[in-house]
Chains A and B, each alone.
Chain A
Amino acid sequence: MTTDKDTIVALATPVGEGAIHLIRLSGYRAKEIINLCFKPANMRKWLDDQNYTLHLGWFYKESKKIDQVMVSRMYGPHSFTGDDVFEINCHGGLLTARRIIEACVHHGARLAEPGEFSKRAFLNGKLDLIQAEAIVDLISAKTELSADLALLQLEGKLSDKINDLRQDILDILAFIEATINFPEDEVDDLSQTELYGMLLRVKDKASEVFKGSKTGKIIREGLATVIAGRPNVGKSSLLNALLKEERAIVTDIPGTTRDEIHEYVKIGEVLLHLIDTAGIRQSEDPVEMIGIERAWKALNMADVILLVLDAEELSSKHLSTEEKNILDEHSAKTIVLINKIDLLPSAENFNYSLPSDVYAIPFSVKEKIGFKELEKEILRRVWEGDIAISDQALLSNMRQIEALEACIHSLEKAIEAAYVHVPFDLISIDVRNALEEISVITGHNVQEDLVENIFSRFCIGK
């Protein structure tokens, strides 16, 4: 269970805005955690332990440098939340910020829930009564998204993998608990060696899922992106603008399939891996050029679809069947760019009819309108884990990754304990923690499932 005594961490600056980010760490273990991650340039000044001071230095995860940062120190009760607070300013962009948060989590902090800093501040008397309502709204808005729905956000394959993993851990715990609670019943004896082996196997499985976490893939391989749209809507000029902008590296790598050309564009910090740009370049009509089948395959494979529509046509004509299909089947991963917005009379509210769940950006390649918004939206999706990487069983958002990492950590502790023949009862503490942590992802109730599992698997009852 989360409690007010946990140490919490989160990004304090809005996602997608600017290059400098502020990360806030708050709680009774904040000082201990910062000491594990932060190497100040001026150690003497740091060790003076003066309140309200600012320190330059490097942020580390274990022995790996993440970024050069400024850390400000505010001890409770005279801080925003009333707890000990450290604020970390980093300039390496959003993904760097994410790594810093991961490092804090790795050392025992937990991701703050929405509104949690404010909640603490309020409970510690730091905010006035008027603000309480707003905090409640913030907190309860997340209910619908949380625990019980958590698994629905996962792709089928991933949820299978995670559920599998959870089931394995549950089985181990139920085995231990059955032998403890029903020592004379028909529960096969579990030896220390067997338990050790079972724990090792499940830990390896967990590590594999962890290694394949989605952020890792996005960083390594980029977001698979398709630019779609009718002829003459401005796809190739968009592509050229993205390339010409020289926002980043452009490379031509011979593709894995016959005639595919892969190009990479960096937007902000995120690498876009453009699929089937050959089609766009040569014919302006990928559907015609590469055939319907391949076009749909590309759309299915994409992490992000940039659907370019013509602002003028949109107000006069209906969407084409292809456009409708994209919006119907891929609305979650599609960003609509309403191009040539500059050609509309400026004051006019363009009245286009798009489904309400589609994210659309008024855009103009020519006048460079909307690029910022596009960048921000892509970053937001990467950050919040909204991007569903197709056909890949990968963990996406940070909360899930944090939970899995904590789970692995607990399994490691259980393995150590089993190795030195600590009694079952004590090993069960770590296994139980592992189960609780992975259940954060799946949203299951540990206590009830455990009892259920014991009774369904073992023939119990004299």
Chain B
Amino acid sequence: MEYFAGKYDVIVIGAGHAGCEAALAAARMGCETLLLTINLDRIANLPCNPSIGGPAKGQLVKEIDALGGQMGIVADLASLQARLLNTGKGPAVHAIRVQLDKAAYHNQMMKFIFNQPGLVVVEALVEKLYIKNNQVSGVVTRTGARFEAGAVVLTSGTYLRGRIIIGEAIYEGGPGGDISAASLSGALKELGVELGRFKTGTPPRILKSSVDFSKFVVQPGDKIPRRFSFLPTESIFWGRDPDKQLPCWLGYTTKETHKIIMDNLHRAPMYSGVIEGLGPRYCPSIEDKVVRFAQREAHQVFLEPEGYHSEELYVAGLSTSLPEEIQLEFFRTVPGLENVRILRPGYAIEYDYVKPYQLSLTLEVRNLPGLYTAGQINGTSGYEEAAAQGLIAGVNAALKILEKDPFIVKRSEGYVGVLIDDLVNKDLIEPYRLLTSRAEYRMLLRQENADLRLTEKGRALGLVDDQRWEIFQNKQSQINELFELWRTTHFSPSSTDIQELLVRLGSSPLKSGIKAEDLLKRPEVNPEHLFGLMPGLEKYDFSVLEEATTQIKYQGYIKKQQEEIQRFIKLEEKELPPDIDYSQIRGLSNEAKHRLQEVRPVNVGQASRISGVNPTDISVLLIFLEQKRRLTTDANRDSK
């Protein structure tokens, strides 16, 4: 029996990484928000690896944080160890990666969710959407409760028609032993949403006390650990004492491991044809790696703690869906795992996803106004990608309720923009993972300037509180001050201090006077070297020095990319009216007509990135727009 259970501004279905960000953002923007989850104990669950960040993903987390999102803060609080990756490869690809205590991550996020004014959380399984006047206007749960709202954000992850596969064992289910959401899939299909099917997998978890760590190499956290958040956060486990960080461990598979896998390949669902969904190439199972890279005699195995006090270890590198007994057999061939006890087997999971070409850049389903989708349901993988979409969907759902203009991050402004723009415009052939290679303006999208790029936007949305705003403004003015100091400080060749320093650094001595800003352009000279020689320099924050140095040292590259953006923006500013009938435009190729009709880009820039639309089609579109514009102005003139 269906009954009316309440009316909200925004309903969010699912409390994973996308759902939490969406719900918090909508509530913080002043919307009465309801968050529905299949299982309250799984809020912000980390069903796969116990870590967040890494290249591109780290940048994404910092962007979420800069916009006033939650993921960065919670990750810092639940941090077991932090590392900065790619330190030698250039400033734009530095990336933080934090190992997490899974229970703490869940608990900390719960705190923010339950203490957020305007946000109500209820455990419920949603079975269908409630449609009124062609608008998605609420949801109906398994127990008959009808919640109504002006906008619904669907973040159901891998739960849609989820199917777990371990060798020959196959059963319906969501990740980590949860139930799957079977009927919602059908409900979406009935509403005309096109679904696809993907697969992903996770490795077994093992008992810590069954491992011989002497055969692994220890991987400690950084001596000076970084944080995601631009706010002053601290790990609840190691606070300010980096020595208390937990290590990870690195080991290798052996020939024997590979032999067992090869001998049992016929029992691997990926090879026996049981799995129909497409899996991600960047996250292959060990059986995949052994087959595809047969020449490698060993593959890496990382042991990562699941929690500070947990007895469980996550075994990165050994994702598998071979039968349970084979998993144990080959695990025991890894040096150090001879007596290992497996606590939970690895598995593959297949699930339905919404083909994202049906979305607009706000993540609203174009043909179902009022419905937004975010996270793994859109065919992405990764906690960070999910959270970023959740934030954008939540913000736009709230903006719709508040009757304000939508919020879109451009590709040139952040990885958030790259992610969503790619999703909508490209054909997905596997779960989408963000890579730094996907960003055209990587040099500008550095993790350390995420706040400079996005915090003002977050403030305008009402997501950035006073504390964050003050920290941001302070950083900005410090950077400007520092530039001024570098511009006005001169070094003379007669100063023995500077000449000695340069010799020591292997840099050529000065022949004439030089400004500090020019001296700092030398690759071997860093601000720390000048501490004694420039009074006042040492008072600046590390983050300020770092950002200012990057801007000075890589000025040329940065300027070039900024020029490219100017060209890029020109096409982004040419809007395409929503009612264009592309099939009627003369000169467009047939494929372009089809794809443009399908994706319905908002501007010419977006059109140019759609797979199947080539530069000639763009020229034709530009001329079409100009024709249309002139005809309209002529008509207006005539009617006057």
Contacts and interface: CB of A to CB of B under 8 A. Distances in A.
A133 interface: yes
Interface string A438-462: 0000000001001100111001111
Interface string B414-448: 00000000000000000000011110001100000
Contact of A5 (B299, B316, B570): B570
B593 to A, nearest CB: 12
A424 B90 contact: yes
Contacts of A456: 281
Contacts of B626: 122-123, 132
B293 A4 contact: no
A352 to B, nearest CB: 36
Nearest to B316: A462
A429 B557 contact: yes
Interface in A1-43: 1-5
Interface string B521-532: 001000000000
A254 B321 CA distance: 75
Interface string A166-207: 000000000001011111111000000000000000000000
A396 B623 CA distance: 31
Contacts of B85: 183-184
A180 B619 contact: no
B616 A139 contact: yes
Interface residues on A, range: 35 or more
Contact of B300 (A3, A425, A462): A462
Nearest to B622: A123
Nearest to A128: B630
Contacts of B95: 183
B570 A4 contact: yes
B292 interface: yes
Interface in A357-401: none
A421 B523 contact: yes
A425 B586 contact: no
A462 B302 contact: yes
A119 B615 CA distance: 13
A343 interface: no
Nearest to A417: B557
* Residue in B443, B566, B615 with the greatest tally of chain A CB atoms within 10 Å: B615
A459 B436 contact: no
Given A5-B567, A136-B586, A123 B623 contact: yes
A316 B300 CA distance: 80
Interface residues of B, number: 61
A301 interface: no
B264 interface: no
A323 interface: no
A235 B616 CA distance: 45
Contacts of B93: 180, 424-425
Nearest to B301: A462
A129 interface: yes
Given A129-B630, A132-B623, A462-B316, A142 B91 contact: no
B86 to A, nearest CB: 5
Contacts, number: 146
B326 interface: no
Contacts of B88: 423
* Residue in B56, B282, B624 with the greatest tally of chain A CB atoms within 10 Å: B282
Contacts of A132: 623, 626-627
A459 B289 contact: yes
A5 B91 CA distance: 29
A147 interface: yes
Given A137-B587, A184-B85, A129 B631 contact: yes
A256 interface: no
Interface string A96-134: 000000000000000001011001001100000100110
Main secondary structure of the interface of B (DSSP, over half): mixed
Contact of A186 (B54, B299, B442, B587): B299
A299 B63 CA distance: 66
A143 B589 contact: yes
B89 A423 contact: yes
B523 A420 contact: yes
Interface string B275-289: 000001111100001
* Residue in A420, A425, A455, A456 with the greatest tally of chain B CB atoms within 10 Å: A425
A454 B284 CA distance: 13
A143 B627 CA distance: 21
B292 A459 contact: yes
B620 A136 contact: yes
B623 A136 contact: yes
Given A423-B89, A424-B89, A425-B89, A185 B586 contact: no
Contacts of A142: 616
B501 interface: no
Contacts of B283: 461
B268 to A, nearest CB: 16
Interface in B149-169: none
A200 to B, nearest CB: 21
A84 B631 CA distance: 27
A4 B572 CA distance: 13
Interface in B233-289: 280-284, 289
Interface string B469-506: 00000000000000000000000000000000000000
A2 B615 CA distance: 7
Contacts of A180: 55, 86, 89-90, 93, 436-437
Nearest to A176: B89
A119 B436 contact: no
Nearest to B97: A184
B571 interface: yes
B89 A143 contact: no
B300 A181 contact: no
B189 interface: no
A7 to B, nearest CB: 12
- Top 4 A-B residue pairs of the complex, sorted by shortest distance between their CB atoms: A425-B90, A423-B90, A140-B587, A462-B316
18 contacts: A133-B586, A136-B620, A136-B624, A140-B616, A180-B89, A180-B437, A181-B55, A182-B55, A185-B300, A423-B90, A424-B89, A425-B443, A426-B443, A426-B557, A429-B443, A447-B437, A450-B437, A461-B284
Given A4-B570, A181-B437, 17 more contacts: A113-B616, A122-B623, A122-B626, A123-B623, A123-B626, A132-B626, A136-B624, A143-B589, A180-B89, A180-B93, A183-B54, A184-B302, A186-B296, A421-B523, A423-B91, A455-B281, A459-B296
